[in-house]
Amino acid sequence: MSRDPRELDWRKHQRVSFTQPSADLRTWVSRYWRVDWTYETPYRQLVVPYPNVHLTFHSTGPELHGVSSGHVFQHLDGNDGVFGVAFRPGRFRPFLGRSVSTLTDTTGPVAEVFPDLPCTADVAGIEAYLRDHLPVDDPKSVLAAEIVEHIQGGPEVMRVDMLAKEFGTTVRRLQRLFAEHVGVGPKWVIRRYRLHEVTVRMTEGSRIDWAELAAELGYADQAHFTRDFTSMFGETPTRYAARY
């Protein structure tokens, strides 16, 4: 398959920045982000998933995005940009008032969740809004966020049963907790963060032995690893590595 050469020099066309939330909002928000772009002709942007719900502000107004269970493509054109709020995984249910899985792979109703939300926002503006609209907290939401962070920071976590044992629960209860508060299952989250470690190695520029890496990540063979990676990232590991 031919590749758009702009995929490999996207930094010439896009400006990406991240801002950390204020201390009092860190339990709710992972980060704020902004992307501005300039494309003379439409560009097909690959977006890889994380277990975050996003509130985004476009020139056409705000949008609410549930967790994507797989990669998606966004079409960028002209001179434009988007500002976004990435909510901390596990912490959006108190805002939503129902299972976060009902938002998965969808764009949700902004006004129902965030009434009187301004059409445009920056960090200061959205933080002021969030402080005025914080929901009643939920201990199960806090627990879900804690477990996701444990997965993210624990490369040794490879299986759901292992995770359930660590937190003194059952696989079934863990699955229900994640459906309700994260929007995707614990197996998906484990796989996503272990595959993230692959992209970190890509950025380091060192040679990767794919078969050895697949075994290290707990895959039965390289073919299973390649299939999972392609499903999540939209490209084979070697093709994706060319981006770096």
Give the domains, in start order, of the chain with CATH numbers.
5-132 (no CATH), 139-241 (1.10.10.60)
pLDDT at 136: 96
Q: Please name which of 189, 186, 180, 187 lies closest in space to residue 100, comparing C-alpha atoms.
A: 180
pLDDT at 78: 95
Q: Quote the pTM value.
A: 0.93
Q: Please name which of 35, 37, 39 lies closest in space to residue 4, comparing C-alpha atoms.
A: 39
pLDDT at 1: 61
Q: Please name which of 114, 142, 111 lies closest in space to residue 28, comparing C-alpha atoms.
A: 142
Beta bridge partners of 64: 55, 108
Cβ count near 177 (within 10 Å): 20
Tens digit of pLDDT at every position of the chain (244 positions): 678 889 888 889 999 999 999 999 999 999 999 999 999 999 999 999 999 999 999 998 999 999 999 999 999 999 999 999 999 999 999 999 999 999 999 998 899 999 999 998 999 999 999 999 999 999 999 999 999 999 999 889 999 999 999 999 999 999 999 999 999 999 999 999 999 888 888 888 778 889 998 998 888 899 999 999 999 998 999 888 887 7
